[in-house]
C-alpha cells in the first residue's frame, strides 16, 4: 500500500535562492571599495592645498614625476636619479611634443628638488607643466 501520491513526488521548487548571489555581490563590493584607493595613489605625499583645478589632459600625454620628503625622484612610480629623470623626459618630449609633465611634490622641505625637475623640463622647452595639489575645502 502506497502512502504517497504521485502528485507530490513531481512537485519542483520554482523559487531561486538568491542569498548566495547577494553574499557574493557584497563581498566583491567590499573588496573593490578597499582596493580602489590603493591603486589610484602613487607615493603617500602631503600635497599643497588649492582652490583652483587644472584642465585634464589626455592620459597618454601625461608623465608623472614624484618627489618624496627625502628628495628621491620617481618617474611613473619607478625610482630614478635626477640625470636619468632628465634623460627620460628628454626622450619622451622628443617623441611626443604635446607631453604634459605633472609634478607631485611633498609639502615638506623638498622644494629644491622639485625645482630641479622644473628647471630640467624648462630647459627642454616643455610648456605644459602642472603641480599636483589637493582641493581645499571651502
83 in the same domain as 18: no
What was the pLDDT predicted at 15? 75
Q: In whole angstroms, what separates CA 118 from the centre of its chain?
A: 22
Highest mean pLDDT among 10-24, 84-98, 104-118: 84-98
The total number of structural domains in the chain stands at: 2
60 in the same domain as 120: yes
Higher model confidence: residue 33 or residue 4? 33
92 in the same domain as 54: yes
Q: State the Cα–Cα distance between residues 106 and 100, nearest whole angstrom.
A: 20
61 in the same domain as 23: no
| pLDDT tens by residue, 33-73 | 887 766 655 666 666 665 556 555 566 678 888 888 787 88
78 in the same domain as 116: yes
**Environment class of residue 18 by beta-carbon count within 10 Å: exposed (0-12), middle (13-18) or buried (19+)?**
exposed
123 in the same domain as 74: yes
Q: What angle do CA 49, 36, 68 make, to 5 degrees?
A: 45
| pLDDT tens by residue, 118-134 | 788 888 888 777 766 56
DSSP-based three-state secondary structure for 61:
helix
Residue bearing cell 636619468? 84
Kindly give the residue spans of alpha helices, DSSP state H, lying in the chain: 6-9, 19-40, 82-95, 111-124
Torsion angle in degrees (nearest 10) through CA of 42, 47, 53, 59: -20
Please check whether residue 110 is in contact with residue 68, taking contact to mean a CB–CB distance below 8 angstroms. Answer: yes
Q: Which domain holds residue 34?
A: 6-40
Q: Is residue 1 in a domain?
A: no
Amino acid at each position: 500500500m502506497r502512502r504517497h501520491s504521485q502528485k507530490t513526488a513531481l512537485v519542483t521548487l520554482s523559487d531561486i535562492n538568491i542569498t548566495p548571489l547577494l553574499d557574493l555581490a557584497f563581498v566583491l563590493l567590499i573588496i573593490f571599495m578597499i582596493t580602489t584607493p590603493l591603486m589610484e595613489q602613487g607615493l603617500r605625499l602631503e600635497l599643497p592645498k588649492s582652490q583652483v583645478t587644472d584642465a585634464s589632459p589626455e592620459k597618454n600625454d601625461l608623465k608623472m614625476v614624484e618627489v618624496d620628503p627625502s628628495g628621491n625622484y620617481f618617474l611613473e612610480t619607478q625610482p630614478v636619479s635626477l640625470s636619468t629623470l632628465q634623460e627620460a623626459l628628454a626622450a619622451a618630449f622628443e617623441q611626443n611634443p604635446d607631453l604634459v609633465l605633472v609634478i607631485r611634490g611633498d609639502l615638506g622641505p623638498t622644494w629644491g628638488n622639485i625645482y630641479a625637475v622644473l628647471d630640467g623640463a624648462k630647459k627642454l622647452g616643455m610648456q605644459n607643466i602642472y603641480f599636483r595639489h589637493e582641493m581645499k575645502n571651502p
